[in-house]
A and B are shown apart, each in its own frame.
Chain A
Amino acid sequence: MPFEQLLIEGLAMGACYGLFGLAVVIIYKTSEVMNFAAGEMAMFSTFIVFHLLTFYHCPFWVALLAAIVFAALLGILVQYFFLRPAKNPTLLSLIVITLGVEMLLMGFASWKWGAEQQEFSLPISYMVTYEPIKGFIISQWALAVFIIAAVVMVFLYFFFNRTSLGTAMRATQQNKHAAKIMGINTDRVFAFSWAFSSVIGLIAAVLLTAKTILDPQFMMEPFLKAFAAAVLGGLMSIPGVLIGGAIMGLLENFFGYAWPVWKPITAFIVIVLVLCVRPSGLFAKHWVKKV
């Protein structure tokens, strides 16, 4: 068994799942809404990078920066126009709204850029590889994924623990009404968390396109894996999601190597097992509300 190869590929893919899982968790942490449009929001913003590169021949970093601004606006707009107007919404109705947004974005992207796979070259290549130790082949892409995931992780740790906005987001999640009474503008907190989540989703999606292919469906499967990673690590735990992603990537690769036919159901098995055995995930506390 090519252990080294499976380990590196599994960890790198897992870091992508973890990074994308963060996009899901950030919204869940503030509003307890599972955003099923996260994949398509990331896909749509990635197409903005593609559009600027292909039709306006912008330098990559300019296109990425513009797409980050777009992703933030998209997050705010989705929250403002689709979720905020819902009157006395239940969690289920908000989830259904995100499903509607998902279909809307998918349809719009297919109409605008076509359903065909697109050519999308990034400055980081999956095909450029290094062999620092004999047998350990690591691609430029995997290196970039590890570095970016670590940077995002450190940034989020400080953001949630050392900044007033991060504290406000945590407070809003724990008790929206109490947070309001304490003077927190919860609407602004929600809008910010959607923007923040959308930007992290874009970063994960751009990294994924370097390994896969860009088309309007390209985030469907990674979203499922990221969701499984988030459930595994704990929907309330930022480090938990990244560790969950890494476990997910490794499980999928080693499991897929040993039993290829069963590889596609790995994520489902993880979700079902975790929900049965430890519903709050491996690294999150299970909150029980007294009634």
Chain B
Amino acid sequence: MDLKRITRVMLVCLFAVFLFTQAGQAAAERGFDDKEIRIAAWGPQTGPAAPWGAVARGSKLLFDIVNEEGGIHGRKIKFFVRDDQYNPSQTVAAVKELIERYGIFAFVGGVGTACCQSVYKILLDNKIIWISPCSGARSFWDPHNPYLWNIWPTYEDDASILAKFAVEKKKFKKIAMLYNNDDYGLDALDSVKYRLSKYKMELVAALPVEPTERDLSSQVAKLKASGAEAVIGFCAPTQAAIALRTSVSQGFRPQWFHSYNLSDYPLMNKITDGLWSKEAVISSAFFIPSFADHPLINKYRKAQERLAPTERWGIFYQAGIVVGEPLLEAMKKAGKNLSTEAVKKELDSLKNFQGVGPKITWKPNYHKAPRSVQIWQAGPKGENIVLQDWTENEISRH
């Protein structure tokens, strides 16, 4: 046999082995074996959005607790976290690597609307369970995705309920808005305008802000000139804090309302030198309060002190637990014969399930987030006072 023929035979053999291996992996049930279930999350652990990276680490705490308690029907959870630096191209790379190298059973969380959108199709095509993007954007539930379950209330519902509270409960006549110049802020702006139109009112001013902006003097001057009694803010924590400082400095003291993304009062109080409490800022929220005397909150906080003592217990960290809880519940109910379809079936039949997040009800053709939020206010010591219990957006357009 000459060298050329030997090389040809070897190449054919290698190709056959390659094909056989791929086929073998595809045939097996992906993401678990008798000893472990592989679950993953991505989030910015470095870069400008790194504070939100706590979400993925919160999920890790939850799965560590489950592993300490013996796992799910004898299987331990192996949890993977990938740092995407809030960059969609890196999210795609991380998710592909996780799926192809490790075979992932389910993803939990996912920070950043754009990052989540970038891997939406990959996860759907691979029929991988995904609970829930940390975003209230419409594109995650419209159209219906059979493998994605939402927990984050939409920004439309959030903004509408806040505006209703400002008008009906606080009797404000002149309302303005400070919004992020992206989907997050623009969805909310549209919703507030719609809500105010029901009272035959209009916003007295609507000012955009960029997530990188550090000087908001001109925006606040314009809000002040509008004579607004209340300002609804849909922006990032840094910009909300700067806007509050600037408004106090300019002698402009409206009632500030903010979205649920700013319900981490200890953090907000810290970075505003206590102004968050002094100005009694109001926000929406859809979690059990982080420092409430609640059995589950107490359990998780004690576990965090023991298993992750360097972490700060706060709303972002808690968010990681919120996205993991329904998955654990469904996997427990699915029993020993684990499969994607068995867990999907259990998720589709969750009714009024509540961990440390909102009450969740999903159906086979209904994976939307709850439409309800609570209204909180910052108390004198930075604590959250519940002003209004769970309230549904009765004029929701979804």
Q: Which chain A residues have a beta carbon within 8 Å of chain B's beta carbons?
A: 1-2, 5-6, 9-10, 13, 107, 110-111, 114-119, 121, 126-127, 129, 137, 139, 141, 208, 211-213, 215-218, 220-222, 252-257, 260-261, 263-264
Q: Spot the interface stretch: B12-20, B204-212, B334-342, B354-362.
A: B204-212
Tell me the bound Cα distance from A114 to B46 in angstroms. 9
Whether B267 contacts A137 by the Cβ 8 Å rule is no
* Cβ–Cβ < 8 Å partners of A117 in chain B: 51, 237-238, 241, 267, 270-271
Interface of B (DSSP majority class): helix
Whether B273 contacts A119 by the Cβ 8 Å rule is yes
21 A/B residue pairs, CB under 8 Å, sorted by A: A5-B250, A6-B221, A9-B217, A107-B46, A115-B49, A117-B51, A117-B237, A117-B238, A118-B271, A126-B249, A137-B251, A211-B242, A213-B238, A213-B241, A252-B215, A253-B221, A260-B208, A263-B213, A263-B218, A264-B210, A264-B212
* Cβ–Cβ < 8 Å partners of B53 in chain A: 115
Q: How far is the CB of B251 from chain A (nearest CB, A)?
A: 6
Whether B245 contacts A116 by the Cβ 8 Å rule is no
Q: A6-B217, A222-B214, A261-B208 are in contact. List 19 more A-B contacts (CB 8 A).
A: A5-B224, A110-B50, A114-B51, A115-B50, A116-B50, A117-B237, A117-B270, A119-B271, A126-B249, A137-B250, A137-B251, A141-B249, A211-B215, A220-B48, A253-B217, A254-B218, A257-B222, A263-B213, A264-B212
- Contact for A220 among B212, B241, B271, B312, CB less than 8 A: B212
Tell me the bound Cα distance from A121 to B270 in angstroms. 10
| Interface residue count on the B side (C-beta < 8 Å) | 39
Tell me the bound Cα distance from A141 to B44 in angstroms. 34
* Cβ–Cβ < 8 Å partners of B214 in chain A: 208, 211-213, 218, 221-222
* Cβ–Cβ < 8 Å partners of A218 in chain B: 214
- With known contacts A9-B217, A127-B248, A222-B214, A119–B225 Cβ distance under 8 A: no
* Cβ–Cβ < 8 Å partners of B250 in chain A: 5, 137
Whether B46 contacts A110 by the Cβ 8 Å rule is yes
- Contact for B245 among A211, A220, A221, CB less than 8 A: A211
* Cβ–Cβ < 8 Å partners of A255 in chain B: 218
Residue of A nearest to B53 (CB): A115
* Cβ–Cβ < 8 Å partners of B49 in chain A: 115
* Cβ–Cβ < 8 Å partners of A208 in chain B: 214
Any chain A CB within 8 A of the CB of B309? no
Residue of A nearest to B222 (CB): A257
Q: Nearest 3 CB-CB pairs, A to B?
A: A115-B50, A256-B218, A9-B217
- Contact for A260 among B46, B222, B270, CB less than 8 A: B222
Tell me the bound Cα distance from A217 to B85 in angstroms. 13
Tell me the bound Cα distance from A217 to B44 in angstroms. 14
Any chain A CB within 8 A of the CB of B219? yes
Tell me the bound Cα distance from A137 to B50 in angstroms. 36
Annotate B24-61 by CB proximity to A: 1 below 8 A, 0 otherwise.
00000000000000000000101111110100000000
Whether B217 contacts A13 by the Cβ 8 Å rule is yes
Tell me the bound Cα distance from A127 to B272 in angstroms. 11
* Cβ–Cβ < 8 Å partners of A216 in chain B: 50
Whether B237 contacts A260 by the Cβ 8 Å rule is no
Residue of A nearest to B206 (CB): A260
